[in-house]
Every structure is written in structure tokens, then in C-alpha cells.
Amino acid sequence: MNDVEKKKKGGCFKVGCLIVIIIFVVGTIIGSLLSDKEKTATNKTKVEEKQLTDNTTNDLPVVFDTKKYINKTKDDIINELGQPQSTDKFDWDSQGSGDKYNISTLSYKKDNIDYEYWFYKDKLVRINIDNENGIEFGTKNQLSILNLDTYKYKVKNINVAIDFVSKEAGIDESIPEQIRFMQVENSKAKNIKIIYNMLVAGQ
């Protein structure tokens, strides 16, 4: 083998080693990135699981079972609560759309708390609850006081109000479409609006 052939062979050997080293380094980097991505996904899952756990944990008792009143009629409410203290009728411009809906109401008072039940075509579409002392809802799974899971709702804070809109509004009829905590202060709401039909009784 002459000197030229030796140089060529040695050069090729060095190039081959360099390629192997580069492949090894790149592979190591990619493997590290994938490992970090898996760890991030795992941590995210753990956080989401913790949030779900938080959403099902609240030491506060249920003050009003909203699910109990799905699809109730006037007769249903009167049979349960007796004759109302007052009634009313009015046209409601829901969501400021300009469409008018003829609403009739039944109003009750119990333990210094006012309850107003709204009906459209004899179907319950909204309940207003007023308590001057405020209704405590806590900091975790606030809607548990209404026998609901907060994680099923999109939450928006608006000044002294908290707005909860169902992620499946118009689809899941087993829960109210919207909940509004009004006049909020120190995790208490003086007014709660339970809206079963946002199209008819929203805002």
C-alpha cells in the first residue's frame, strides 16, 4: 500500500468516526427532548387530575339542588312549595337580542332568602336567589353549593360577578346552561342566577 492509499484510508476512517459521533450526539439530544416532553405531559396530567380532585372537594354544604328543578312546571313548584307569596308576568329581552319572551314568575321567601322561579310556556327556565347576607361559595369548586361540578363550566370574572357557562350548553340538558354569582365579596354572593335556558332567560 503506497502513502497516498494510506492517507485516503486514514482520512475515510476519521470521517467515518466523525459521522458516528455526530449521529450519537444528535440521537442523545433527541432522546433527551422526548424524555422531557414525556415528563411535561405526565406532570400536566397530574395537575389536571389534581384540579379534578379539587373540583370535587368542598366542605360547604349544598344550599340549593339545581338538578332537582330541570324541566319543572309551575304545578311541580306549587305542589312542592305551596302557593307563592307573589306572581308576575313580563316580556323579557334575553341577551339584548330584541326578541321578547313572555315570562311568568312564582316568588317565595324562606329563611330570609328570596326565590324567584321563571317560566316560559310553563317550563322552568331560570331561578333567582337573593340573600342580603350573602351565600358563601368558597374557593374550590364553587358550584358544588348548587350540586354542580365547576370543571364542566367556563368561568369568567366580571367586576363583582362570576359567570359560569356550561361547556356543553344546549347539548347537556342535565345541568343549567349558565350560573351567575352577583354582588360578590369575600367568596359570598348576594344574588345567584340559575339559568336553564340562556336563549330565553339569559343575561
Domain spans in the chain, listed from the N-terminal domain onward: 1-55, 66-201
Instruction: Specify whether the CB–CB gap between 76 and 90 falls below 8 A.
Output: no
pLDDT at 58: 65
Predicted TM-score (pTM) of this structure? 0.72
Does position 27 have pLDDT exceeding 90, yes or no?
no
Q: How confident is the model at residue 109 (pLDDT cuts 50, 70, 90)?
A: very high
How many C-beta atoms lie closer than 10 Å to residue 134's C-beta? 16
Residue in 195, 187, 153, 189 with CA at minimum distance from that of residue 69:
195
Does position 55 have pLDDT exceeding 90, yes or no?
no
Q: How many CA atoms lie within 13 A of 119 on its CB side?
A: 19
Distance CA 1, CA 13 (A): 16
Q: List, in sequence order, every beta strand (DSSP E) within 44-146.
A: 86-93, 100-110, 113-120, 123-136
Provide the greatest CA pair distance for the chain.
Answer: 114
Give the residue with greater pLDDT, 143 vs 17. 143
pLDDT at 1: 54
Amino acid occupying residue 201 = A
Q: How confident is the model at residue 42 (pLDDT cuts 50, 70, 90)?
A: very low
